[in-house]
Structure 1
């Protein structure tokens, strides 16, 4: 059963695959904002591991995150997500990302619980 306070964590090392210049989100060789967002979503998903019913998964529906500091290649970045609100199938997380020196990102992230099979069928019904 889902409860507020549930936490998840994810970590990545900044390398040439997740810089702004490589990901097309800027021209600098620093940790890319899209990479930080993906790490935050991974942390939220980690918080939910083993917490959902069979056949359920979650999809990200909203992000309100500020990227407040840059991180160079070679540093590790850790994202943490804490489940702060449960509203039926809507889940709200407080999120923070840190490198080895600073908080680099913070905000909130919403996910929605869906039936994986039905969601996939509806999505691919577009084709």
Structure 2
């Protein structure tokens, strides 16, 4: 593993902007919310901005994975408005990266939060997922034998 501080710095950030479309609304939760940006859409943008802040600076065989997010959605944003998300690195400890998330639209702040990501080897991630999948497949085989 490498020292993440040689590739990333506190204060490094990415900004994403998006005009709110119908697919970004909370309509799937309630027809009364079909005009408003959903919290899940904002969190999706926050994760994407966080990955953009980190992943393009990593060696090809590494990736960041999220393991914690806390977000407060403070104001409604309507269809057609532009939402902006800024993800900024606030701490680097070993392979863990802490980011602060700021979100606003044309009227001002609409949310804020924190996101934690860990830098891992892609191969380690794939191997771990494969072991978990094989375990599940073996459990199902055993259950079918007993049933």
Tell me, yes or no, whether TM beats 0.5. Answer: yes
- Of structures 1 and 2, the one scoring higher in RCO (CA 8 A, sep 6+) is 1
Equivalent positions of 1:12-51 (< 5 A) are: 12-22=18-28, 24=29, 27-29=32-34, 30-51=36-57
Partner of 1:126, secondary structure, is helix
Residue 25 to residue 89, structure 1, CA distance change in 2 (3 Å): farther
1:53 equivalent in alignment to 2:56 = no
RMSD between aligned residues: 1.6
After the TM superposition, which parts of structure 1 deviate over 6 Å for at least 4 consecutive aligned residues? Answer: none
Per-residue CA distance 1:38-84 (angstroms, 9 max, x = gap): 10111111112432122111111111110000100011111001101
In the aligned structure 2, how far is the partner of 1:69 from the partner of 1:43?
20
Q: Which runs of 5+ in 2 are unaligned?
A: 1-6, 134-147
More helix by share: 2
More strand by share: 1
Q: Which runs of 5+ in 1 are unaligned?
A: none
